[in-house]
Amino acid sequence: MSTHEPAPIPRLHVNIDHVATVRQARREAFPDPVEWALRCEAAGAHGITCHLRKDRRHIQDADIHRLREVVTTLLNLECSLDDSMLTLAESSGSEAFCLVPENRLEISTEGGLDVIRETPRLRDAVPRLTEAGGAVSIFIDPDPRQLDAAAALGVPFVELHTGAYANARGAVRAAELERLTEASRHARAVGLRVNAGHGLDFENTAPIAAIEGIEELNIGFAVVARSLFDGVDRCVTDMLRLIEGARP
């Protein structure tokens, strides 16, 4: 019998942005993304993720303050490299930060941060957020050159962008899965810890959850969309069961 410890099952962090998207469509006080976050925690989610964008299209400043008051798992704040957003992140009290690209014309984040091009700004942002007390990650495409650049900055984590995998089918998806698997291997070889997310749903998550070394999955839209029919509690527990079953 093997004496090796089994690989830890990835944690599920639920992104609550699109609950706020529905709320902002009417500028109402409901549905409340903070209440929804608490429901996710109660159903077993290991953390809550949100993205405070410069254009405030979904999450608002007040949401961050309220989330910090009530979230008891882990609060992960996604933000851009814009100086004003970094200043807000520093005072947010979040336990984790993920630096992401931001384009005002995009519907959602469309790709990983170009670490090589953004190295000068990252050299400023990473120490600022580290000193604020949070673990810093960079949302990154599964590209060895980008991973090497992230490792050179001294960040503890990267979050692999799974969008190309999620949008592909057949042989192309298989190739993207292999690319993510190799990226996880490479990241760990250069001293990085690995999370993953973007576009993951109830059909495509299990192969990502099965990748050795991935510690955390950030999943939002699919849980929000399905919960319109099935309820948030059932959707979170179903996703947890799917992730737990992905590894032997």
Helix 83-90, helix 115-131: angle, nearest 10: 30
> In this structure, what DSSP letter does residue 41 have?
H
Catalytic one among 102, 159, 198, 216? 198
51 is catalytic: yes
3-state secondary structure at position 12:
strand
Is 126:149 a contact under the CB 8 Å cutoff?
no
Catalytic one among 51, 58, 161, 186? 51
Catalytic one among 13, 18, 78, 216? 78
Q: DSSP for 147-179, please give it.
A: HHHHHHHT-SEEEEE-HHHHH--HHHHHHHHHH
- CA–CA separation, 27 and 124 (whole Å): 35
Chain centroid to CA 193: how far?
13
Active-site residue numbers? Answer: 51, 78, 198
